[in-house]
Structure 1
Amino acid sequence: MNDTPIQTTKTYEAIIQRLLEGIRSGTFPAGRKLPSVRQLSVDWQVGQAAVREALSALKAMNLITSRQGEGTFVNPHTSEQIAQSLKFNDLMTPAEVQSLLELRLILEAGAVRLAALRRTQAELDGLSLTVQRMKADLELSQLGEQTDFEFHYKLTEASKNPYLRALMESVREKMQSAQLSSRLALYRIEGEPQQLLAQHQEILQAVENQDPNSAETAMLQHLRHVEARLNQLDKA
């Protein structure tokens, strides 16, 4: 294990990166018990709170599990899960996330209005299923960033506007990276995952009711909430 002290302003992110490297390289193979929070804190000369935050993020990625009275263990993982964890290397900076949120405020406010007016029953059923999966992700303490993107992408599809869909497709990778960055940060706030789920349910309800004004309002409130929370965390 790399015992070099960690020196960074975002300590918990550096700890996540080091643990991911250990899992990918086989230093921490599936079934292996990780060192204790105290031991990692001593080895890497970081605070125990930062270690706990990093472990919480890896639990949300479904890469580790804590067993009461036993410790924290590496889960069996697929190549797909490892590929997903590699995206952590490509996390966007706060400034990049902010720029993308500005684009989304313009793009998705209009898209959701059209989706509310034009969606089919099949598209509504697909959106409902995606929100159910969001709830399942939350119950399993997973980040759910892929399901989050899927919901917003399906709304753009339901708008029936090929140019809006093309714009969403053009920023797909950046948006997925931003959602991973955002959720790693936001999920550190108690009650935030439940609030984000409720906001998506509100958007879905407006689309189901075919109410474009309420759909636009719900989308703008959701994106502005995320923007405000991230700004708050960035200043902390």
Structure 2
Amino acid sequence: MILKPIKTRKIYEQIVDQIGQLVVEGHLKPGDRLPSERELVDRFQVSRSSIREAISALEMMGLIEVRSGEGTYIRQVNIESVVAPLAWMLFIEKDTDQELYEARKILEVQAAGLAAERADEEEIHGMFKTLEIMRLDLALHRSGEDADHYFHYAIARATHNKILIRLMNTISDTMQKALRNSRAKLAEDRDTDTPQKLYDDHYALYQSIKDHDVERARQAMMDHLVGVENQLSK
């Protein structure tokens, strides 16, 4: 029998759990305003930094909305709450890169195939414009993480699958934050051809979707994700 050591939970995680439970039990409803940061410090008897970490986590989970100059409000519960635990896991776990790439292979490889089958001319042109931004980023030695993110989301939109689009929309920001350092590291690796390889991968994806070649699109996405994963493992 294998037993794991007990780990002390961080303070902000306990704050998140309490606020989340209040939402589940109906004590906090969509549109309700949370107490101010100072009030939360007094009520929880914790530091400001713990409150700020908790607010950041809750916002990433999609449970609250921070309105500049107005306060922090509980969001309307909808389909996004289904993937809130995933957002929370990615926020607090530090060693999920491999698992994230496994999940992306399942989700995005099939999305690429659907996009190749269903993408219309406007969506294909949008992917091309994103590629042009990526090409400029490459020439200027910029990381290109934003264009990378938008390109993958454009593929999800081109599936015309409402559930898949909503799922990608919900978790894409979380995935972008979780992978930001990795993308920047790869793009800044000027001792290799990695930046050019990243661009070439995306161009191959674009071309296969433009040609409406379903199997080639799936393979191009798999090759891209496996290549990035292998490069990061080095």
Counterpart Cα distance in 2 of 1:92 and 1:105: 22
The count of aligned residue pairs is 143
Task: Tell me which stretches of 4 or more aligned residues in structure 1 moved more than 3 Å.
Answer: 90-94
Question: How far apart are the structure 2 equivalents of 1:92 and 1:194?
Answer: 32
Residue identity opposite 2:215 in structure 1: N
Query: Which sections of structure 2, spanning at least 5 residues, go unmatched?
Result: 1-89
* Aligned residue number for residue 223 of structure 1: 225
Change over 3 Å in CA distance of 1:130–1:139 after alignment to 2: same
TM superposition score normalised by structure 1 = 0.57
Whole-angstrom distance in 1 between the partners of 2:177 and 2:96? 10
- The aligned counterpart of 1:205 is 207
Alpha-carbon distance between aligned partners in 1 of 2:199 and 2:163, rounded to the nearest angstrom: 28
Q: Could you give the per-residue CA deviations for residues 159-205 of structure 1, whole angstroms, max 9, x where no partner exists?
A: 00011112212212221113321123223252100000000000001
C-alpha deviations, 1:31-69, integer Å up to 9, x for none? Answer: xxxxxxxxxxxxxxxxxxxxxxxxxxxxxxxxxxxxxxx
1:95 alignment partner, SS class: coil
What TM-score do you get using the length of structure 2 for normalisation?
0.58
Q: Which residue type is aligned with residue 140 of structure 1?
A: L
In 1, the alpha carbon distance for the partners of 2:185 and 2:113 equals 29
Residue 163 of structure 1 aligns with which residue?
A: 163
Residue identity (%) = 35
Distance 2:173 2:96 in 1: 13
Distance 1:148 1:113, change over 3 A: same
Aligned to 2:76: none
Give a deviation string over 1:140-165, Cα, whole Å, max 9, x none. Answer: 11111111010000000000001111
Greater Cα radius of gyration, structure 1 or 2: 2
Instruction: Supply the distance in 2 between the matched residues of 1:210 and 1:92 (Cα, whole angstroms).
Output: 39
Report the AA paired with residue 120 of structure 1.
D
Report the Cα distance in structure 2 between the residues aligned to 1:178 and 1:133, rounded to whole angstroms: 22
Corresponding residue of 2:113: 113
Which structure 2 residues correspond to residues 1-236 of structure 1 after superposition, within 5 A? 95-186=95-186, 187-188=188-189, 189-232=191-234
Query: Aligned AA for 1:104?
Result: R
